[in-house]
Structure 1
Amino acid sequence: MSAASGDVEAINRILKHYEGYIAVLSTRKLYDEYGNLHYCVDETLRRRLETKLITKILKFKIA
């Protein structure tokens, strides 16, 4: 309930809980000039997913 009311520490705990899942969702395959495959986290996408999660937390209403 405290995260939905805007408690920053509660929101940070939720973000920490989902940190690994968000990193997996935002991982992209990249190939270098030699054709070698590399994986990296798309930081823009990761931030967008975190922002979306925060937005949903703040809009959460208990019925």
Structure 2
Amino acid sequence: MNKAHPSFYLISNAVDGNAGAIEKLLEFYEPYISKCCLRPFYDEYGNVCIVVDMELKGRIREALLKMICEFEIDEPNK
């Protein structure tokens, strides 16, 4: 099943530090991150192919992890 966004429950658990939820959140965004990291690569013959820049992908995953750790969920007024 392809969802448009991660559930509140998943985000809440990830923010609370649940390692499984954090991994599921990273898996959710994996295709988007990979697509953002596509770069042209030229071989020694001048041929071009599109590859995933793994260094950039690692930096984006690191930034996402940092955002998850710093994210705060506001509780509604009672």
Report the TM-score, using the length of structure 1 for normalisation: 0.91
Q: RMSD across aligned C-alpha pairs, in angstroms?
A: 0.9
Identical residues among aligned pairs (%): 38
Structure 1 runs (4+) greater than 3 angstroms displaced:
none
- State the aligned residue count: 63
Q: What is the identity, as a one-letter code, of the residue corresponding to 2:29?
A: Y
Which 5+ residue runs of structure 2 have no aligned equivalent?
A: 1-11
Greater shift in the superposed pair: 37-46 or 27-36: 27-36
Larger Rg: 2
Greater relative CO (CA pairs within 8 A, separation 6+): 1
Which secondary structure state, in structure 2, belongs to the residue aligned with residue 40 of structure 1? strand
Q: TM-score, normalising length from structure 2?
A: 0.75
Gap runs ≥5 in structure 1: none
